[in-house]
Amino acid sequence: MLIVPIFYLKKMICNFKNVNGDAQMKKITVLFVCTGNICRSPTAEGVFVKLLQEKNLTAYFDVDSAGTHAYHIGEAPDLRSQQAAKQRGIDLSQQRARQVVFGDFEKYDYLLVMDHDNFHILQQTCPKAYQFKIQYLLDYAPELKTKQVPDPYYGGKNGFETVLDMIEQAAIGFFKHITHIGKTVNRLILEKRHGDN
């Protein structure tokens, strides 16, 4: 599984604020990125939000998607993506395409890309301090043995189903990763409190 730099764990710990004696963490921010933000990344956003809803955890996350290019700004996801997702209980209809902006590199904890082109484009514009945030979504589904979610835009119906299958597997893996990080942060907080006493 991917390793999060220790200084980033420390930053996450610093995000905790004491409210009436309780620890409350700022939202974990996740941005899914593809090329035009009408097929793969909105699907990933919808899949991950549904997963969070099922676990009653949406209040702890800020999830969005964007594209590396400005082809479809303001448009709803591709109807084929919407239809495929709807068959699995996922509603993409309220999403609207946007392009990645410079501020996203600071705002989001994770920028999860769909293919090599997305990865390299983000790397070229991202400040060095935030480069570690850019990751392949499919790194969280190593069993698929590929880093690339294929673009279904020019393919048939089966392409959208394949994309959903791959993204669902990766979303589960990513959630497990987040859970592991959360446990690590909690342990470090307890150790810090113990050391302060």
Number of domains in the chain: 1
Q: Which of 80, 139, 151, 165 is catalytic?
A: 151
Q: Which of 39, 40, 64, 78 is catalytic?
A: 40
Flag whether 10 is in a domain.
no
Query: Domain range spanning residue 90?
Result: 26-192
pTM of the model: 0.85
Flag whether 15 is in a domain.
no
Phi/psi for 166 (5° steps) reads -65, -45
**pLDDT for position 192:** 59
56 against 17, higher pLDDT: 56
Flag whether 115 is in a domain.
yes
Is 126 a residue of the active site? no
User: Quick one: average pLDDT of 12-41?
Assistant: 72
Is 40 a residue of the active site? yes
Task: Report the CATH number that the domain containing residue 119 is assigned in CATH.
Answer: 3.40.50.2300
Instruction: Name the 3-class secondary structure at 43.
Output: helix
Cα separation of the two ends of the chain: 34
Instruction: Name the 3-class secondary structure at 58.
Output: helix
Kindly report, residue by residue over 25-37, the tens digit of the pLDDT.
Answer: 578 999 999 999 9
Flag whether 50 is in a domain.
yes
Q: How far apart are CA 134 and CA 110, in angstroms?
A: 6
Kindly report, residue by residue over 103-122, the tens digit of the pLDDT.
Answer: 999 999 999 999 999 999 99
